[in-house]
Amino acid sequence: FVLTAHRPNYLLNYSYNFTPNSRPFQEEDAQIDNTEIKFQISLKYKVIDNIFPENGDLYFAYTNQSYWQAFNDDLSSPFREINHEPEFWLQFRPNQNLGTIEFSGLAIGFTHESNGKGGSLSRGWNRIYLNLIFQRDNLALALKPWYRLPEDEKTNAADPHGDDNPNIEKYMGHGELTLACHINGNTFSTICRNNLRRRNKGSVELGWSFPLFRRLKGYVQYFNGYGESLIDYDAYSNRIGVGFLLTDWL
């Protein structure tokens, strides 16, 4: 019953986007820089232990992913986008072996994700998900399908109620696959999404962390595709960043 890391916590103090998306900020006549700082803070807390005999733990987590135009003096260095994601889930320990592969985790959860903005810049969605976790030695794999909870259509673009991004599934898909491998102090990770449609859209995020000093690690992250952030859910991103990682997948 203490705060622990949920997803990786990192700081990319130099992150370069080859395809910056200025479209949402046209009304403000804002020119987005290619270079910015990206960081993620992700923590979880076990709320209830063993709801069922010897199994079933209830967790709460919060993840903050931020994009800071720290080098954009013309715009007074604003935060371009901040995504907030609180979630609850019930986690079970199957402790089943599929040959040499351990089925180590099964989670059923609800997550809300939004960028906390209003008007034309507002983005958000709610999902229920299933997360299946498998491990073998220094390799971990998580398969996470989800279902987006439907929202009412907006009456007009300025309507504060209703769906801010009605076609987000066409870009973010209906799930993601995460793979992480730990080798000689290095961790290599991949997160893949795909909409599985004829007009194919998806994304891949590649990560490499390596030892630097004590618990501090260096971190390189590459993203290509759609949905890196909510404001860019329907815009193609091609980004690479370097920085530091505090907590890892493994």
Active site residues per annotation: 112, 114
Measured between alpha carbons, how far is 117 from 106 in angstroms, rounded to an integer? Answer: 33
Measured between alpha carbons, how far is 37 from 22 in angstroms, rounded to an integer? Answer: 17
- Work out whether the CA dihedral 182, 183, 188, 194 comes out positive or negative: negative
Measured between alpha carbons, how far is 172 from 95 in angstroms, rounded to an integer? Answer: 31
- Work out whether the CA dihedral 7, 10, 205, 237 comes out positive or negative: positive
Alpha helices in the chain (DSSP H): 169-172
Kindly provide the b/e burial profile for residues 144-176, where b requires at least 16 CB atoms within 10 angstroms of the residue's own CB: bebeeeeeeeeeeeeeeeebbbeebbebbbbbb
CA distances from 9 to 38, 189, 207, 245 (A): 11, 14, 12, 6
User: What residue type is assigned to position 83 of the chain?
Assistant: N
Residue with tokens 């800071």: 68
